[in-house]
Structure 1
Amino acid sequence: MSSLPASLVSSVVGSACRRAILVAVGLFVSTSGLKAQSPSAAEYKSIQEALDANPGKMVYLPQGDHIVSERITIKHDGSGLYGYGRIIQENAEQPVIRADGRKGIILRDISLTRAEEKTESRAEAIYLNQCEEVLLENVRVKDNRSAAASISVRDGKGTQIRGCTVENYMRISVDDRTHSENYGYAFRCIDGTGIAVVNSEGNLIQNCRVVEHVFVPTQELKEKHGLGKFTKKNAARGKLMNPEVWNAEYVNNWHQGSGIIVTGPDITARTQLIGNQIENAAQGIDLHCDHVIVSNNIVNNAFIGMKAMHGSRNVLIIGNQFVKNDLWSIGLMPGAASHHSAPATADRPALAPNVDGGSIIANNIISDFGYGSASWMWTETGSCNPLRFDKGQTPQNPPLTDVLIQGNVIYDSGKDSPLVDGAPKKEGPRYSYAVRIETDGKNPPQGLRFSNNIFHPGKEGVSNVELAP
């Protein structure tokens, strides 16, 4: 019998010794041991009954379909579900799982969906309200078609969403903006969001997949559902409305929602979006928050790759791939929610500043720009630019300030067109400028610094203004 190498023997012995020590002190639990020790939902009349009977414990969800007609509510800290079962919600008015004010709950490996005839809903698949230190890992959500997000986190702290999949989350809807003095109309649209985090701190969204397969912005879909047409209109035009759009009663931004949105401009902070893949979204990543890392993500076939606005400060955008975007890939801009600091008044408390800037855009690659599903809507407008830095939406918005842009590549994929009739047929770029900086108005961007980038020129050049080093 041949002997094992000394290094391997040492490794095996070391591993065995470590396990023995952990077992002796009660810290080692194998996967099979966890399953054996956990209560199983199969032992109870319902998943809800299993959770209620085992407060603070993880309940095992065995493989197979589990039909529910009311939401599953996690009522105790430290509770959760894990396993390879699939929960099918038959009630279109209810979320699949909800938790309010809980701490340390875990959802792992389970699948959530809706009954085939009830996929369209106004509710979330997972709704977490005022929860702390939640972990969602390897959870799969499919066919939760709602204007609400499939996974929704509100007023939370320390939420981790890792390795989850959201598939087919959009529906035909109406976006009603009649209550806003800035807009004052409602219109037919495609709407839906994969993952939404609102008014929350210390978030991690990592290695998730958010994919829509059905509702992509084709001309056929637009005509079939009357997308973009007004359904209601106030007597007075909204403050931010273009008069021509108002009179035409049609908007071309009828592809609404986001793959991932992190919002709550005055509250949400310290978020990491790392290694996610987003396919066929309207907006890939939408940020209205501070102290954010956006790294190693792939956003493919979204008419907007990502934007940070409404007071998004200290955003690090590094090492991402933006593929087949049609309007812009990376956009930074103030929005209507951004504001200067202000002292307290009789009507409101003092306002801390909510500003945009102090950010870095580095080592990203933008390619196949203008080759996405929405290109037919945007390429002829002259407003398509891979990098966009905008002015404020109102004159009162503080300007976008102090952004470092370095080491990025904007690649004109049209120059690599395949052979046609035995000869290369190169297309021109499908964007006006590689970089557009809006200089009109009272609050144009300030302090933008460019270095070591490769920007293939657009139809009108590299940039509409000289890029400051």
Structure 2
Amino acid sequence: MRSTLLFLLILFLSLPATSIAQQAKQAFPIVTSNQTIQETLDAQPGRMLFLPAGDYEISEKLVIRSDGSGLYGPGRIIQTNPEAPFIEIEHRAGVQFRDIVLTRPEGKQSTAIEAVNARDCQDLVLDNVTVKNHRTRSGVFYLLNCKNATIRNCTITNYMRIAVDDRTASPDWGYAFHCIDGSGIVVNASTGTLIQGNRITEQELLPTPEVQEKYQLGQFVKKNDTKGALTSQQTWEQESVKNWHQGSAIIVTSPAASDRTQILGNTIENGAQGIDLHSDHVIVSQNIVSNCFVGMKAMHGSRHIAIIGNQFIKNDLWSIGLMPGAASYAAQAAAKDQPAKSDNSDGGSIIANNIISEFGFGNAHWIWGDNGNPILLDSGQKPENTPLADVILQGNIVQNSGRFEATKKNQQPRYVYAVRVDRKATNIHFSNNIFDPGREGVSNVELKK
């Protein structure tokens, strides 16, 4: 056996260098100076393309046209066109992107589109992909109608931008305002998605008074003649809003379609909302969500959400929120002018073994004050929304970090209640939690075991 291996090694080493390079190129297609990335992808359908170290400027999107194709390697792709994404994948299976870097040059960073746009794909893998300075109103990674996608070990840095949130087309709101907007990972109408071990951080556009003043954040740009149904009279008259820090580090949406999602071990810093869910059958576990004014929320008919073993740090409005939304409704029989609807109510969820600390010590505290609640089990946005039901809260810690401060003034809790519960919510159970009282107590209701 040893003699056979030695013979093969000697034979391999005796091959000319050009022959070895040719064999390597056949096994691993490589981008060369003779072809663009797109040309090499098209010439090698169904194969992974190695991208050597170096910078590769593009001004058009890269389109994946074959199942099993993809890119891997240490190369850095620089997109110089703000109107074009980096990568587009439609109706493909088994596509992979690994270890590559995507970025935009100075002056070309703000865009309205995605870095990676995947639609109607199956078994897509984004692994150790780094995206920096892609500032978008959309999502850096955007998945629509995908099955069994994996987004793992990726790094997204500086993904938010100055924008206008235009709600004039909605009868619920009827106004538009200046805002910071942008999301890291957007998953829409997809099933079986794994989002694991990613780092999503905004380092520059932070919700400070200086940034708010510079960009007139929250101020109306326009408003309709008629006030929106969900808009308060005070907001309508003062023509400004507090929620000008928009977007989510991770959002899984399309509540009647998205299903079976795992959000595991991600690190999220300096976002607006950390994790936003409009989905069923979701596991949110071992994540660290720091300095986002909302840690996470699940609404609009989110059922069977397991929120287990996470760290929520420096949130200012709430850390964990379950709430019916405008899209929440009970099952409905068919009527003359309406088809039957399946149940899309919220609940059947578990909140367990999470730690909430330094609440009210984030960048957005100056906006929201001490009016937040670390755990919020809220009412619906409309009277007809079905109330939240069937939730277990077990083994969680909400700690008033102010009590460790030296001065008595700073020791006061920066929240109203540790837990605020909508009085219409039903079958809510608490056990073995440690809740430091807020300014008005532990909770607005008796915590039933």
Question: TM-score, normalization: structure 1?
Answer: 0.89
Letter in 2 for 1:205: I
Matched with 2:346 is: 356
Q: 1:386 aligns with which of 374, 378, 397?
A: 374
1:330 aligns with 2:314: no
Which structure 2 segments of 5+ residues have no match?
6-22
Matched with 1:406 is: 394
Letter in 1 for 2:43: A
Secondary structure at the aligned position of 1:42 is classed as: coil
Matched with 2:145 is: 155
Instruction: Report matched runs for 1:277-356 at 5 Å.
Output: 277-345=267-335, 347-356=337-346
Matched with 2:113 is: 123
Matched with 2:422 is: 438
TM superposition shift of 1:425:
6.9
TM superposition shift of 1:376:
0.5
Which 4+ runs in 1 deviate beyond 4 A?
33-36, 345-348
TM superposition shift of 1:340:
1.4
Query: What's the CA shift string for 1:413-441, capped at 9, x where partnerless?
Result: 00111x46xxx8752110111011133xx
Letter in 2 for 1:216: L
Asked whether the equivalents of residues 270 and 290 of structure 1 are also in contact (C-alpha less than 8 Å), the reply is yes
Classify 1:207/1:70 alpha carbon distance in 2 versus 1 (closer, same or farther; 3 Å). Answer: same
Classify 1:348/1:111 alpha carbon distance in 2 versus 1 (closer, same or farther; 3 Å). Answer: farther
Instruction: Report matched runs for 1:420-439 at 5 Å.
Output: 427-439=411-423
Instruction: Report matched runs for 1:96-115 at 5 Å.
Output: 96-115=86-105
Matched with 1:57 is: 47
Asked whether the equivalents of residues 44 and 50 of structure 1 are also in contact (C-alpha less than 8 Å), the reply is no
1:81 aligns with 2:75: no
Q: How far apart in 2 are the matches of 1:214 and 1:346? A: 54
TM superposition shift of 1:349:
3.3
Classify 1:346/1:76 alpha carbon distance in 2 versus 1 (closer, same or farther; 3 Å). Answer: farther
1:216 aligns with 2:216: no
Matched with 2:16 is: none
RMSD over aligned CA atoms reads 1.6
Q: How far apart in 2 are the matches of 1:34 and 1:225? A: 53
Matched with 1:25 is: none
1:135 aligns with 2:119: no
Query: What's the CA shift string for 1:55-76, capped at 9, x where partnerless?
Result: 1000111111100000001111
Matched with 1:449 is: 429
1:468 aligns with 2:437: no
Q: How far apart in 2 are the matches of 1:320 and 1:335? A: 24
Secondary structure at the aligned position of 1:179 is classed as: coil
Q: 1:375 aligns with which of 365, 388, 391?
A: 365
Query: What's the CA shift string for 1:122-159, capped at 9, x where partnerless?
Result: 11111101111101100001100010101111111000
TM superposition shift of 1:453:
0.1
Counting matched residue pairs gives 429
Asked whether the equivalents of residues 321 and 364 of structure 1 are also in contact (C-alpha less than 8 Å), the reply is yes
1:191 aligns with 2:181: yes
1:397 aligns with 2:385: yes
Letter in 2 for 1:409: I
TM superposition shift of 1:348:
4.8
Classify 1:78/1:348 alpha carbon distance in 2 versus 1 (closer, same or farther; 3 Å). Answer: farther
Q: How far apart in 1 are the matches of 2:250 and 2:336? A: 37
TM superposition shift of 1:390:
0.6
Q: How far apart in 1 are the matches of 2:25 and 2:326? A: 51
Secondary structure at the aligned position of 2:54 is classed as: strand
TM superposition shift of 1:347:
4.8
Secondary structure at the aligned position of 2:418 is classed as: strand
1:459 aligns with 2:439: yes
1:273 aligns with 2:253: no
Q: How far apart in 2 are the matches of 1:193 and 1:250? A: 23
Classify 1:57/1:437 alpha carbon distance in 2 versus 1 (closer, same or farther; 3 Å). Answer: same
Q: How far apart in 1 are the matches of 2:165 and 2:132? A: 23
Query: What's the CA shift string for 1:72-112, capped at 9, x where partnerless?
Result: 01111000000000100011011111101111100000000
Q: How far apart in 2 are the matches of 1:432 and 1:372? A: 16
Q: How far apart in 2 are the matches of 1:284 and 1:34? A: 43
Q: Name the stretch that deviates more: 342-351 or 232-241.
A: 342-351
Asked whether the equivalents of residues 320 and 365 of structure 1 are also in contact (C-alpha less than 8 Å), the reply is yes
Query: What's the CA shift string for 1:320-352, capped at 9, x where partnerless?
Result: 000000000000000001111223345553211
Matched with 1:229 is: 219
TM superposition shift of 1:295:
0.2
Q: How far apart in 1 are the matches of 2:179 and 2:348? A: 34
Q: How far apart in 2 are the matches of 1:308 and 1:228? A: 24
Question: TM-score, normalization: structure 2?
Answer: 0.93
Letter in 2 for 1:57: R
Query: What's the CA shift string for 1:212-261, capped at 9, x where partnerless?
Result: 00011000111111000111111111111111111111000000000100
Q: How far apart in 1 are the matches of 2:24 and 2:198? A: 25
Instruction: Report matched runs for 1:161-180 at 5 Å.
Output: 161-180=151-170
Letter in 1 for 2:132: K
Matched with 2:56 is: 66
Letter in 1 for 2:414: R
Asked whether the equivalents of residues 35 and 60 of structure 1 are also in contact (C-alpha less than 8 Å), the reply is no
Asked whether the equivalents of residues 385 and 434 of structure 1 are also in contact (C-alpha less than 8 Å), the reply is yes
Q: How far apart in 2 are the matches of 1:293 and 1:327? A: 22
Letter in 1 for 2:399: Y
Matched with 1:28 is: none
